[in-house]
Amino acid sequence: MRDDDLAVLPLHVVASAIAERRLSPVEVVDALLARVERVEPRLHTYVHLDADAARASARRAEQAVTGGGHLGPLHGIPVSLKDVFHHGPTRAGSLAPLPRHAGGESAVASQLERAGAIIVGKAATYEFALGAQTSSGPYEPTRNPWNPALDAGGSSSGSAAGVAASLAYASLGSDTAGSGRYPAAACGVVGLKPTYDLVDRDGLVPLSWSFDHPAVLARCIADAGRVLAAHLPPGATEGLLSIDRDIAGVRLGVPRSLFAASCEPAVLEVFEAACLRLRELGATVEDVELRTDATDVAAAMWPILLAEMAAAHHEGLQDPAAAYGRQVRSTMEAGYLVSGVDYLRAQQLRRTIASELEAALATVDQLVLPTSSARPGAVLDTPPATDEYASGENVSVYTAIANLTGGPAVTLPCGFAPDGLPLGLQLLGPLGGEVALLRTAAAFEAAMGWYPHYATLPHAAT
């Protein structure tokens, strides 16, 4: 099998082949690294790569297979880890000091390695995961595998672009307001933000403690379920390692108040076609009443986000010499404008929104909406203007509600925009509703027949 043929296979297929001794972890890692060597210089998905360590881990993984011992769900699988998780050299995409950390590995890195995964390197991120593009910070911007003139989306840009271009079989990113799901949608991969605190945040460089979530980026729903399972206790993985696709009778609600006013017609057209496909699969898809709109989400999110990031980075921000990017420093310093009263009022609104969403989810099983109406623009030399962040019209408008409530959300590809970039379909569920959410997503994915696109990505396939 050619290196590329092996590198583009789904994670769960490779994991099964390794467990059944049809593939060796050494073969898998060598194939992936060969592809990284060729493709990475064009896309810049990694900020740190340790090929020697990966090959050594692969040899150990191979010995474990031949030894006949217990193999974890990711045994021998090369993955990447966003540079906001403590593991090896960790800079969170910045030259500024990190908030103080108790030390040691991040929980997700330890869990990946316990599951048998081989962490090949650290994936690129917008500085401190604060932006939806990749142009901030000291590194080359990550480019979109579908069109390298365009940005990959952020902040988990290296994770999403790397998974899409088959430079990692999966990646652990983070999602504070959509930082996992937005780049996933922009790069045509799956982005799963599990329920708040379901995956341990220990060792995740904080941006906003009450919004930060580890997120799974994967090439398909089966892979995302398997990676999530690797982060859960053994008794909590039922329905994740083998995902049912029967969604007959599942009730899906469309919360138009969140997106109707701002969604581009071309995105809406693809979304409506996706809803039609879901109906054909046996789900009911009806509009659902939700009082919360995009301005409510922004009004709850921004004061909390700004205040928490200023508090998390307070010590660094006091040092005039700390090398934050200008945009990042000024955005973080805006947190000092938020009073204690503003913060608490935003938390009150957050609970009101959570109650309204809970009421909507009492009438349907899941909500379905576009992942974003925005799409990445050209790779920039300078960060976007602040008013694009704070206007309430930015890329996080459709995703941030799940960070407010803490409920699970998943994005998966549902078609293409006129500019040729993929578009994402987003599903939201109640707290702890990951299995049901992935079932709906898996049914849709199978009906779409999306997976073969990875082998034909125009700018990453050769």
Residue ranges that bind another protein, judged by CB under 8 A = 196-197, 209-211, 295-296, 298-299, 302-303, 306, 317-320, 326-327, 330-331, 333-334, 336-338, 342, 344-352, 354-355, 385-387, 390-392, 403-406
In degrees, rounded to 5, the angle at the alpha carbon of residue 178 between the alpha carbons of residues 310 and 97 is: 35
Known catalytic membership, residue 155: yes
- Shortest approach of another protein to residue 432 CB, angstroms? 12
Q: Which of 57, 155, 171, 372 is catalytic?
A: 155
Active site residue 257: no
Q: Which residues contact 446 (CB under 8 A, 6 or more apart)?
A: 245
Q: Is 122 a catalytic residue?
A: no
- Bridge-based pairing of strands 147-151 and 190-193 is unpaired
Least distance to another protein, CB of residue 385, Å: 8
For CA atoms 224, 228, 230, 236, the dihedral sign is: negative
Task: Judge whether 300 and 404 are in contact, CB under 8 Å.
Answer: yes
Query: Which DSSP string corresponds to 60-92?
Result: HHHHHHHHT----TTTT-EEEEETTB-SSS--T
Q: Give dist(CA 77, CA 116) in Å, integer.
A: 7
Tell the smallest beta-carbon distance from residue 230 to another protein (Å).
22
In a 10 Å sphere around its CB, with 0-12 CB exposed, 13-18 middle and 19+ buried, how is residue 308 labelled?
Answer: buried
Picking from 123, 124, 122, 119, the residue whose alpha carbon sits closest to that of residue 53 is: 119
Q: What is the DSSP string of 189-257?
A: -EEEEPSTTTS--TTBPPS-TTT-EEEEEESSHHHHHHHHHTTS-GGG-TTTSS-----TT-EEEE-GG
Within 8 A by CB and 6+ apart from 157, the residues are: 45, 123, 124, 125, 126, 133, 134, 141, 142, 151, 183
Q: Which of the following is catalytic: 136, 159, 171, 179? A: 179
User: Of 82, 94, 106, 157, which one is the catalytic site residue?
Assistant: 82
Q: CB 148 → another protein: shortest distance, Å?
A: 30
Question: By C-beta, is 16 or 382 nearer to another protein?
Answer: 382
Q: Indicate the residue among 20 and 387 with the shorter CB distance to another protein.
A: 387
Helix (H, G, I), strand (E, B) or coil at 268: helix
Q: Which is nearer to another protein, 286 or 315 (CB)?
A: 315
Min dist CB 320 to another protein, Å, is 5
Where residue 239 falls (left for φ over 0; alpha for ψ -120 to 50; beta otherwise) is: left
Residues 173, 160 contacting (CB under 8 angstroms): yes
Question: What span, in angstroms and rounded, lies between the C-alpha atoms of 201 and 313?
Answer: 17
- When the beta carbons of 113 and 356 are compared against another protein, the nearer one is 356
Residue closer to another protein (CB basis): 254 or 306: 306
- Minimum distance, C-beta of residue 354 to another protein, in the bound complex (Å): 5
Handedness of CA 117, 151, 164, 34 (dihedral sign): negative
| 287 Cβ contact partners less than 8 Å away, ≥ 6 residues apart | 253, 254, 256
127: enclosing H helix or E strand: none
Pick the closer one to another protein by CB: 228 or 334.
334
Task: Please state the closest distance from residue 301 (CB atom) to another protein, in A.
Answer: 9
Q: Closest approach of Cβ 114 to another protein, in Å?
A: 24
- Residue 88 or 384 with smaller CB distance to another protein: 384
Between residues 63 and 382, which has the closer beta carbon with respect to another protein? Answer: 382
> Active-site positions?
82, 155, 179
